[in-house]
Amino acid sequence: MTLIDGDEISARVRDEVSREISDLDYTPRLVAVLMSDDPASETYVRMKHQAAEEVGVDSETIDIDPEETEEALLDVIDDLNQDEDVDGILVQLPLPDHVDEHAALDAVAPEKDVDGFHPENKGRLMDGRPRMVPATPRGVHRMLQEADVEVDGADVTIVGRSNIVGKPLAALLTNHDATVTVCHSHTDDLAAHTRRADVVVAAVGVAEMIDAEMVAEGATVIDVGINRVDADNDKGYELVGDVAFDEVKEVAGAITPVPGGVGPMTVACLMENTVEAARQRRKN
Ligand code: GUN
């Protein structure tokens, strides 16, 4: 069994980005908009900020009180769209219930949309001419490449149909000639789909849902899940994936851990998107 080490691969990606930035005659600028008190969202935004600092992206987080109106959020996004110094904008999800997520994502200028969540960028990915590929799918694809897992012709089963992982990953891997099956909560006999896959990607948000019985001997297993479960430690919780790692590693040919798997890849690939956005916008 090969452990696909997200910490190691993401360090390589960050290093590549860092070298690319050192050749530019400007500093790419990324702004994260956080409209949430959720500790997990706060942690993710902090990790993105740290990665930005490390690679040489100038980054800032704009905090908006979650009690504020949708209009207040749209005003902030509009200002960032107009700001010539801003290369990348990301609106951390989830947003408060009273804010229409689509309205917020649609408001981000497509050329600054480093998450790849604007409908134009989603459409381009579907069309096979991507501009900004969402960071998690991009990170998953990079991990498969680094682990020498052939995607062309492979049977890939994705468990989860979210707009930010499952659906764009299906488009991305289809563009790379995989045969992709997308499963979800209404799928009949999920295990039949996962068991015949060369590559299983778990992105459902249910702790340790994919067990050893659901995975073929030698398959590659990519775990996108990051779930907080109660634990008897200082924090009172621990992070586990959507895959029951200890048992699945006994049958898988290659597997990603949690933490230290897809999570750091998402952050590193966001930096790649930020540099790409800057280069496209500034035309060098
Ligand atoms: N919330 C969960 N994943 C993501 C992500 O990739 N980007 C943003 N902006 N919010 C998220």
pLDDT, position 284: 75
For atom 3 of ligand 1, the residue with the nearest CA is 93
Of the chain, the percentage scoring pLDDT greater than 70 comes to: 100
List 87, 112, 113, 115, catalytic entry:
115
Q: Is 48 among the residues known to form the active site?
A: yes
CATH number of 25-110: 3.40.50.10860
269 within ligand 1 shell (Cβ under 6 A): no
Q: Does residue 50 carry a catalytic annotation?
A: no
Q: Which residues of 130-141 are buried (b: 16+ CB within 10 A; e: fewer)?
A: bbbbbbbbbbbb
What is the end-to-end Cα distance of the chain in Å, rounded?
A: 42
Do 25-110 and 135-263 come out as alike in CATH topology? yes
251: CA distance to ligand 1 center in Å?
Answer: 31
Class of the 135-263 domain? alpha beta
Mean pLDDT to the nearest integer, 261-274: 98
**Is residue 136 lining ligand 1, measured as CB closer than 6 Å?**
yes
3-state secondary structure of 260: coil
- Tell me: the pLDDT tens digits for 168-194? 999 999 999 999 999 999 999 999 999
Beta bridge partners of 3: 255
- Percentage of the chain lying above the pLDDT 90 cut: 99
Q: In this model, does residue 258 exceed pLDDT 80?
A: yes
Give the model confidence (pLDDT) of 191-212 as tens digits. 999 999 999 999 999 999 999 9
How many angstroms separate the CA atoms of 219 and 55, rounded?
A: 34
C-alpha of residue 92 to centroid of ligand 1, in Å: 5
Domains of the chain by residue range: 25-110, 135-263
Ligand 1 atom 9, closest CA: 92
- Give me the catalytic one of 87, 92, 167, 249: 92
pLDDT class for 36, splitting at 50, 70, 90? very high
Could you confirm whether 115 is annotated as catalytic?
yes
pLDDT tens, position by position, 123-175: 999 999 999 999 999 999 999 999 999 999 999 999 999 999 999 999 999 99
Token readout for 202 is: 């778990």
